[in-house]
């Protein structure tokens, strides 16, 4: 991190008395832990990736709005506490036009990268369900989507078609089986379009990044303590949040697994996710009818997004080897098949 003294002093911290440590988590933003050695206070310092979050001001506005709405219902809820700069701004903008923000570190907590018990699945689903449920009286129109059309499957499908039309023959040939498979499951897009056009289910405030590492667990009791990473909170459908938990938790291995035989459905985890979510939030009848669609919807969309990025020559997701996005797409196509066989 360059110019760190300027960044820290913008938040009224003295670089000479702070330790800065980069964390490895997060593919999108760059994150550091700042420890003030005099006050012993710790913070999360983040450089927001403005090529993805084009409107960082929307993020901070949404976080403030959500915090106020949640605290009005539950004054003890651990909301995200962001620090203003000495100019009373949400971000420090450095001389390279990078946006930096400083968030209070929540002490005595730990994160889990991959889920290993059914109870964790239940607790995670309950926590994200509760988050949306606490926001149910919020006026969704006051929230600005930090990534417009983030989970708009119809648009993701159009982006995929554009990528296909513009890619080279080699990538097209390598991706062919997976393109064909996704085209054969186009019904998943049709169902989404119908949800939209018929307004079948309510727009709620969703979290939109419901992976287990976005829950802070108490370091001693291992009970969930806080939901973090509120960057993508936005109006959306419950199928996004529930679906992404199913996508990331029903199978023991994640989206980078290349041995497709390891993609196995864990029924007990699936059931725990559904019960945890349902116990936390009152769903409408139409929403209940879409419980089994949620996981397929998100897995289909993620397969499409990885394949699109592969066809686009890897401009969005970080990769560590040349065909990783194709491998991720294969993984998600297999997961989709497994979900369709089991749900
Ligand atoms: C990105 O980097 P991470 O894990 O927070 C992506 C999600 C995808 C996920 C797939 C802003 O999230 O939508 O589901 O990768 N976030 C953004 O691993 O695009
Ligand atoms: Mg995130």
The predicted structure's pLDDT at residue 114: 85
Measured from the Cα of 244, ligand 1's closest atom is 14
Same domain for 98 and 235, yes or no, is no
Mean pLDDT, residues 61-80 taken together: 96
User: What is the best residue among 24, 25, 27, 239 to mutate for testing ligand 1's pocket, by most ligand atoms within 8 Å of CB?
Assistant: 27
Measured from the Cα of 316, ligand 1's closest atom is 19
Ligand 2 centroid to residue 29 C-alpha, Å: 8
Same domain for 127 and 76, yes or no, is no
pTM for the model? 0.94
Tell me which ligand sits closest to the C-alpha of residue 324. 1
Same domain for 274 and 335, yes or no, is yes
Last residue of a domain, one of 37, 72, 107: 107
Q: Could you tell me if residue 214 is inside a domain?
A: yes
Q: Please provide the size of the chain in residues.
A: 343
Residue bearing the CA closest to ligand 1, atom 7: 209
The predicted structure's pLDDT at residue 27: 67
Residue 1 has pLDDT above 80, yes or no: no
Distance between CA atoms of residues 238 and 40, nearest Å: 39
Tell me which ligand sits closest to the C-alpha of residue 231. 2
Same domain for 133 and 211, yes or no, is yes
Residue 204 has pLDDT above 90, yes or no: yes
Same domain for 188 and 286, yes or no, is yes
Q: Could you tell me if residue 235 is inside a domain?
A: yes
> pLDDT class for 296, splitting at 50, 70, 90?
very high
Residue 26 has pLDDT above 80, yes or no: no
Residue 29 has pLDDT above 90, yes or no: no
Last residue of a domain, one of 61, 83, 107: 107
Ligand 2 centroid to residue 63 C-alpha, Å: 14
The predicted structure's pLDDT at residue 3: 80
> pLDDT class for 2, splitting at 50, 70, 90?
low
Ligand 1 centroid to residue 211 C-alpha, Å: 9
Residue 304 contacts residue 155 (beta carbons within 8 Å): no
Same domain for 94 and 123, yes or no, is no
Residue 48 contacts residue 29 (beta carbons within 8 Å): yes
Ligand 2 centroid to residue 92 C-alpha, Å: 20
Residue bearing the CA closest to ligand 1, atom 17: 28
Q: Could you tell me if residue 195 is inside a domain?
A: yes
Measured from the Cα of 27, ligand 1's closest atom is 2
Residue 25 has pLDDT above 80, yes or no: no
Q: Which residue has the higher pLDDT, 28 or 152?
A: 152
Ligand 1 centroid to residue 37 C-alpha, Å: 33
Q: Poorest-confidence range of 1-15, 145-159, 186-200?
A: 1-15
What is the count of structural domains for the chain?
A: 2
Mean pLDDT, residues 278-303 taken together: 98
Q: Which of 144-148, 213-217, 242-246 has the highest mean pLDDT?
A: 242-246
Residue numbers of the domain that contains 31: 4-107
Q: Could you tell me if residue 281 is inside a domain?
A: yes
Residue 106 contacts residue 78 (beta carbons within 8 Å): yes
Residue bearing the CA closest to ligand 1, atom 13: 209
The predicted structure's pLDDT at residue 334: 98
Tokens linked to 113: 């990268």
Q: Could you tell me if residue 335 is inside a domain?
A: yes
Q: What is the mean pLDDT of the chain?
A: 96
The predicted structure's pLDDT at residue 28: 78
Same domain for 93 and 145, yes or no, is no
Tell me which ligand sits closest to the C-alpha of residue 255. 1
Tell me the per-residue pLDDT of 223-257, one tens digit each, with 9 for 90 and over. Answer: 999 999 999 999 999 999 999 999 999 999 999 99
The predicted structure's pLDDT at residue 192: 98
Measured from the Cα of 52, ligand 1's closest atom is 11
- Counting Cβ atoms within 10 Å, is residue 276 exposed (0-12), middle (13-18) or buried (19+)? buried
Residue 73 has pLDDT above 70, yes or no: yes
Q: Residue 54 belongs to a domain with what CATH number? A: 3.30.200.20
Q: Could you tell me if residue 229 is inside a domain?
A: yes
Last residue of a domain, one of 73, 107, 141: 107
Tell me the per-residue pLDDT of 31-58, one tens digit each, with 9 for 90 and over. Answer: 999 999 999 999 999 999 999 999 999 9
Question: Residue 53: which of 150, 152, 132 has the closest Cα?
Answer: 150
Residue 156 has pLDDT above 90, yes or no: yes
Same domain for 135 and 163, yes or no, is yes
Same domain for 135 and 96, yes or no, is no
Tell me the per-residue pLDDT of 99-111, one tens digit each, with 9 for 90 and over. Answer: 999 999 999 999 9
Q: Which SS3 state, helix, strand or coil, does residue 33 take?
A: strand
Same domain for 158 and 243, yes or no, is yes
Same domain for 128 and 276, yes or no, is yes
Residue 80 contacts residue 230 (beta carbons within 8 Å): yes
Ligand 2 centroid to residue 232 C-alpha, Å: 7
Same domain for 247 and 158, yes or no, is yes
Rg of the chain's alpha carbons, rounded to an integer?
20
Q: Could you tell me if residue 112 is inside a domain?
A: no
Ligand 2 centroid to residue 315 C-alpha, Å: 18
Q: Residue 317 belongs to a domain with what CATH number? A: 3.90.1200.10
Q: Which SS3 state, helix, strand or coil, does residue 86 take?
A: coil
Q: Could you tell me if residue 113 is inside a domain?
A: no
Residues having CB within 6 Å of any atom of ligand 1: 27-28, 52, 147, 209, 255, 302
């Amino acid at each position: 991190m360059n110019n760190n003294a300027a960044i820290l002093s913008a938040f009224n911290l003295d670089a000479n008395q702070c330790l800065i440590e980069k964390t490895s988590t997060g593919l999108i933003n760059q994150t550091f832990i700042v420890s003030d050695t005099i006050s012993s206070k710790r913070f999360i310092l983040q450089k927001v990736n403005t090529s993805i979050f084009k409107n960082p001001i929307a993020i901070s506005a949404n976080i403030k709005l959500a915090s106020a709405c949640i605290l009005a219902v539950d004054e003890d809820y651990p909301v995200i506490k962001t620090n203003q700069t000495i100019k009373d701004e949400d971000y420090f903008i450095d001389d390279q036009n990078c946006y930096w923000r400083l968030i209070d570190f929540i002490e005595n907590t730990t994160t889990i990268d991959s889920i290993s018990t059914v109870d964790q699945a239940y607790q995670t689903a309950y926590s994200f369900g509760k988050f949306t449920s606490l926001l149910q009286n919020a006026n969704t129109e006051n929230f600005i989507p930090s990534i417009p059309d983030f989970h708009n499957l119809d648009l993701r499908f159009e982006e995929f078609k554009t990528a296909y039309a513009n890619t080279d023959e080699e990538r097209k040939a390598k991706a062919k089986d997976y393109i064909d498979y996704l085209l054969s499951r186009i019904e998943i897009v049709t169902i989404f379009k119908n949800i939209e056009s018929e307004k079948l289910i309510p727009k709620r405030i969703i979290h939109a990044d419901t992976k287990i590492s976005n829950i802070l667990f108490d370091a001693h009791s291992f009970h969930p303590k806080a939901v973090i990473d509120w960057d993508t909170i936005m109006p959306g459908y419950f199928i996004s949040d529930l679906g992404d938990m199913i996508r990331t938790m029903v199978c023991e291995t994640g989206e980078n697994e290349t041995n497709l035989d390891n993609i196995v459905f864990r029924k007990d985890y699936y059931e725990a996710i559904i019960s945890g979510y349902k116990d936390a939030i009152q769903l409408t009848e139409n929403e209940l009818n879409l419980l089994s669609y949620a996981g397929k919807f998100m897995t289909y969309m993620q397969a499409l997004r990885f394949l699109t990025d592969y066809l686009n020559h890897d401009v969005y997701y970080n990769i560590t080897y040349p065909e990783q996005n194709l491998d991720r797409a294969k993984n998600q196509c297999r997961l989709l098949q497994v979900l369709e066989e089991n749900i």
